Structure 1
Amino acid sequence: MKHFKIIFALLLSLGILSACGADGENVEKGKGNGEVTKGQSDFPLSVSDALSNKVTLEEQPKHIVSLIPSNTEILFELGLNKEIVGVSDFDNYPKEAAEKEKIGGMEFNVEKIISLNPDLVLAHESTAVSAEEGLEQLRGAGVKVYIVRDAHNFEEVYTTMENIGTLVGKKDEAESIISEMKADLESIKEKVSGVSEKKKVYIEVSPSPDIYSTGKNTFIDQMLSLVNAENVMSDQEGWIQVNQEAVIASNPDIIITTYGYYSENPKEQVMGREGWKDVSAVKNEEVHDVHSDLVTRTGPRLVEGVEEIAKSIYPELFTE
């Protein structure tokens, strides 16, 4: 269990668990839903963030610190490389993120952030409670902090991107990115629309010995539905510790792992498990790995994640 707790902490710091509806500790959505009024793109700008904190920006931010990778990816996609002055230790995309000042992980360095003289810090609802003391210290130092709403589905991701775009004076760019994401997603859905017999899929997000998967009401489950596939764990909810016998009994056609970026040979790990040799996916060597960042970070690359999952399940539909 210790192994998974380490992974759990890492995923939480990346804004993954709550984005997938997994941790059961999400802040209750109320009046402060973090939505920015459409059409409100001129400065000064006054908005309420995800926790009902009022944030007023007199002018377009020129120095931005991001506390979580999903926010960072959105900012880069909006063309704000020059404006980004600090990112978390976990930020690894795009490559330019590695060149930015690192401000810490789950426990960010308040003094370091203040030294960067940001006029906007983008935090995230998934970690806002645990980071409350640090965020208050930033506010006390006169730093503007905006807590981005936790997104649980694609529509909420689009809203998040639109909100951030408006907040940083890049509303048109955000709308263009959203339109492109929607078009790409529709293209994927069209390719799989003719599937007559849905493949049964098992997604594994943490390897042995503490094996975890995702049930219903998670982003990954939604992705499987979008590509016309059946999640064999959909009878359970959220992130779940796996009973291996249950997986074997479900006999998935496809197995997809999402931990190849930190665990070597994920396919071989699954293929070599005792008792799994008669599972269809193992017998037919239909075990594939998709990078976790593509299917968990609530930002512009989510559609790429959907496509990677779709290609793993129905490769014949994506030949060009």
Structure 2
Amino acid sequence: MTVIRSIPRALRCLATGLSFAIGFMAAGPVYSSDRLPENADRIVAIGGSLTEIVYALGEQDRLVARDSTGSYPEQALALPDVGYMRALSPEGVLSVKPDGILAIEGSGPPEAVSVLASAGVPFVTVPEGYSGEAIRQKIRAVGAALGVDGKAEALSEKVAANLDKAVADAHKLNRTTRVLFVLSYAGGRILASGTGTAADAIIAMAGAKNAVGTFPGYKQLNEEAITAAAPDVILMMERHGDENAASDILGNAAIAQTPAGRNKRLIRMNGLYLLGFGPRTASAVRELSGDLADFGL
């Protein structure tokens, strides 16, 4: 995670991170089952949070591949990458000869999921969500699919307790901080997060306010909308190869007029860590809350 307080520091401190673009409008595949065969030991995990959960449950030896968002823990990077979760190729997934597929809701495209589901490979879709209860359900669903319900229940309780404590601690600060999450900044166009998104949820958990919480999903903002949003902080994901992003976004004419722009307040965090809503979400809440506090907010 990198906190930017000035442009010179930004150029020294920006880290390369995960390209984890989040899409929320893709259609989810039809649930085919809630359990994989007991002897399934060649499992493909599609969705970074699912890969994390499999490792957290100690069932990683059953994984033979993951999608490109499955970047944590580091050991997972040694597994074959079958492509981005929303742009899957059935041939790529089937090439690792899986005997089970765990896929997060929204994986696709639907045509690819249909091919995989009809290929005779057991397929479990895990519901997505952006709350503490959604994380618990996700862990339980993975545990049920793998036949380790007991371990999953224990993990879900531990994760939920940790998250509840992190959220409670963040909310004790009674913040009025306005945070603008920028998903992308291409060609000077700012694509920002509204309601019903992972970014909106994590900002709220950290005790802050979404600066543009008046529309659902993601939307491109014009200069007037950015000025009216008046964010105190800009929040972005770290991405490989965008070392100039800090100067670009803070140098935007509209952003420069906001409290965030005037005070050079930019926070960047790993995308899966920040938006994955998995076992590490409590840590992400604490880190984001702490970074806001470092700004005096």
Bin for the TM-score computed over the shorter chain: 0.7 to 0.9
Match of 1:201 among 169, 179, 183: 179
Matched, 1:17 2:23: yes
Q: Which has the higher contact order (CA 8 A, sep 6+)?
A: 2
Question: Which residue number in structure 2 is paired with residue 158 of structure 1?
Answer: 136
DSSP-derived class of the 2:253 partner: coil
- Alignment RMSD, CA only? 2.8
Give percent identity, aligned residues only.
23
What is the letter of the counterpart of residue 251 of structure 1? A
Aligned 8 A contact 1:67 1:123 in 2: yes
* Structure 1, gaps ≥5 residues long: 1-9, 28-49
* Structure 2, gaps ≥5 residues long: 1-18
* Alpha-carbon spacing, 1:283–1:210, altered in 2? closer, same or farther (3 Å): closer
* Alpha-carbon spacing, 1:125–1:278, altered in 2? closer, same or farther (3 Å): closer
Aligned 8 A contact 2:132 2:160 in 1: no
Residue by residue over 1:125-176, the C-alpha shift from the partner in whole angstroms, topping out at 9 and shown as x without a partner, is 3024x243x4444445432111222324331221121011121122232223
* Alpha-carbon spacing, 1:26–1:151, altered in 2? closer, same or farther (3 Å): farther
Residue 257 of structure 1: CA displacement? Answer: 1.7
Matches of 1:234 and 1:300 in 2, distance apart? 26
Match of 1:121 among 84, 101, 111: 101
TM-score by length of 2: 0.81
Residue by residue over 1:260-315, the C-alpha shift from the partner in whole angstroms, topping out at 9 and shown as x without a partner, is 44421433222222344342222222222122222222322233332232122223
Question: 5 Å matches for 1:104-183?
Answer: 104-105=83-84, 106-111=86-91, 113-128=93-108, 130-132=109-111, 134-183=112-161
Matches of 2:119 and 2:210 in 1, distance apart? 48
Residue 193 of structure 1: CA displacement? Answer: 3.0
Q: Structure 1 stretch 50-59 or stretch 228-237: which is displaced more? A: 50-59
Question: Which residue number in structure 1 is paired with residue 75 of structure 2?
Answer: 96
Matches of 2:285 and 2:128 in 1, distance apart? 19
Residue 84 of structure 1: CA displacement? Answer: 0.5
Residue 234 of structure 1: CA displacement? Answer: 0.7
TM-score by length of 1: 0.75
What is the letter of the counterpart of residue 131 of structure 2? N
Residue 316 of structure 1: CA displacement? Answer: 7.7
* Alpha-carbon spacing, 1:78–1:279, altered in 2? closer, same or farther (3 Å): same
Residue 85 of structure 1: CA displacement? Answer: 0.8
Question: Which residue number in structure 1 is paired with residue 202 of structure 2?
Answer: 223
Matches of 1:275 and 1:108 in 2, distance apart? 37
Aligned 8 A contact 2:136 2:157 in 1: no
What is the letter of the counterpart of residue 142 of structure 1? G
Matches of 1:55 and 1:203 in 2, distance apart? 34
Matches of 2:263 and 2:295 in 1, distance apart? 15
Question: 5 Å matches for 1:1-320?
Answer: 16-18=22-24, 23=25, 25-27=26-28, 51-54=30-33, 57-105=36-84, 106-111=86-91, 113-128=93-108, 130-132=109-111, 134-208=112-186, 209-315=188-294
Aligned 8 A contact 2:82 2:89 in 1: yes
Matches of 1:221 and 1:215 in 2, distance apart? 6
Question: Which residue number in structure 1 is paired with residue 11 of structure 2?
Answer: none
DSSP-derived class of the 1:314 partner: helix
Q: Structure 1 stretch 222-231 or stretch 188-197: which is displaced more? A: 188-197
Aligned 8 A contact 1:103 1:112 in 2: yes
* Alpha-carbon spacing, 1:244–1:79, altered in 2? closer, same or farther (3 Å): farther
